[in-house]
Amino acid sequence: MEYEMDMEPTGPQVTVREAEPYRVDFRLSSIDLAFANSLRRTILAEVPTMALDLIEIESNTSVLADEMLAHRLGMIPLNAKNCDQMDYTRDCDCEDHCVRCSVTLSLHARCGNGIMTVYARDLAVQGERMNDTIGDPVITDAEGKGAIICKLRKGQEIKLTCLAKKGTAKEHAKWAPTSAVGFEYDPHNNLKHVDYWYEQDAAKEWPISENAAWEPAANPDQPFDYDAEPNTYYFDVESIGNLEPDMIIQQGITVLQEKLATTISVLSGEGEDGHVGGVEDADMMGGADPDAYEPPEGMDGHLTAYGNGAAGAWGASAQTPYGATPYGQGAYGF
């Protein structure tokens, strides 16, 4: 079977094509599109990182509004290595926040004369934290300044305390570990998943990507292979410095596995008695013989949301906010 064919003998293949401190470019092959896309999605949105989430402004006499300042602070990438040691604040046992679920940073800048530029490096970690690096602002430029937070004129001051929390980009993009994830498959468009717009000739007007060198184009004389499926995926993961690119990918897979694991544990927890929470018995219609199929009795009973029984949420007796039954006086609510 196909199942054995592309799972067992070869298995997924990974080739790292380029690796830089903040970037990794790799080729993933012998795997299905669904999985490759899941990996892309988890890397983009579900790898946990650290970001400033709560800003307490004691003094802000700069030209920026408090909200603007808080927003800018939130966007500053913070070191998130080993942030699996941290808890999400919402899951933590503590009253408000604690060392296990947050890192406190403070910023105090006052301009004596001229114009002072406040950089991310001016954020100082206060108190304890789970490890030595977590929550440090990411500084990648040669001067070691980091991102600009704001500029101050003579006499202006900002003084604030910030709380960095663990989160994912699903909640807010500031927790994104990547600035971009390049994802491509079938650069020659052999599978015809893309229908190019063109004026005269699509082949001339659309440049072929660099990845095209990694696989052959289909022979135009051959008939279209409608059974072909995508097999090779080109990832280009660009980190913003809070996690190493290879950690992002490993974390991405781990996140996916955690999703599966929690569901498996729920399923196996209920599966111990051999039934899904007893529901099978209650609902099984016609026993094991599918020929004895009958429409679910609940069509007008407790099983359906649309039934006309008293329990039916949309039953005929239901009044709409406009006084009448939704659609006339018919037996069914719909």
Partner 1 sequence: MPASVHSQEPQEADQSMIDAEPEVDPIMLEEKRVVVLPGSSETSASFQFENEGHTMGNALRYAIMKNPAVEFCGYTIPIPLTPRCTFAFRQLVSLTKWNGWRSCSLPRTPRYTTTALEALEKGFSDLMDLCDVVTEKFTDARDQFNEENSNRMQS
Backbone CA torsion sign across 192, 231, 34, 179: negative
Kind plus residue range of the DSSP H or E element containing 179:
strand 178-185
Please tell me the distance from the alpha carbon of residue 36 to that of residue 29, in angstroms, as a whole number: 9
Q: What SS3 state is found at 86?
A: coil
Return the closest-CA partner of residue 48 out of 90, 82, 99, 97.
82
Please tell me the distance from the alpha carbon of residue 192 to that of residue 189, in angstroms, as a whole number: 5
Shortest Cβ distance from residue 89 to partner 1 (Å)?
A: 16
| Residue 63: half-sphere exposure toward Cβ, Cα within 13 Å | 8
> How many Cβ atoms from other residues are within 10 Å of residue 331's Cβ?
8
Shortest Cβ distance from residue 213 to partner 1 (Å)?
A: 18
Cβ closest to partner 1, residue 202 vs residue 264: 264
> How many Cβ atoms from other residues are within 10 Å of residue 239's Cβ?
24
Shortest Cβ distance from residue 315 to partner 1 (Å)?
A: 11
Cβ closest to partner 1, residue 112 vs residue 269: 269
Shortest Cβ distance from residue 116 to partner 1 (Å)?
A: 39
Cβ closest to partner 1, residue 217 vs residue 264: 264
SS (H, E, C) 295-321: CCHHHHCCCCCCCCCCCCCCCCCCCCC
Q: What tokens does 114 get?
A: 């001229």
Cβ neighbours of residue 332 closer than 8 Å, sequence gap 6 or more: 306, 308, 316
Cβ closest to partner 1, residue 148 vs residue 284: 284
Cβ closest to partner 1, residue 22 vs residue 306: 306
Cβ closest to partner 1, residue 127 vs residue 271: 271
Cβ closest to partner 1, residue 145 vs residue 182: 182
Q: What SS3 state is found at 217?
A: coil
Return the biggest CA–CA distance within the chain: 88
Shortest Cβ distance from residue 1 to partner 1 (Å)?
A: 5
Cβ closest to partner 1, residue 2 vs residue 201: 2
Residue found under tokens 């790292």: 16
Shortest Cβ distance from residue 90 to partner 1 (Å)?
A: 11
Please tell me the distance from the alpha carbon of residue 171 to that of residue 27, in angstroms, as a whole number: 29
Cβ closest to partner 1, residue 113 vs residue 268: 268
Shortest Cβ distance from residue 306 to partner 1 (Å)?
A: 7
Shortest Cβ distance from residue 183 to partner 1 (Å)?
A: 14
Shortest Cβ distance from residue 70 to partner 1 (Å)?
A: 21
Dihedral angle, C-alpha 89, 92, 95, 99, nearest 10 °: -70
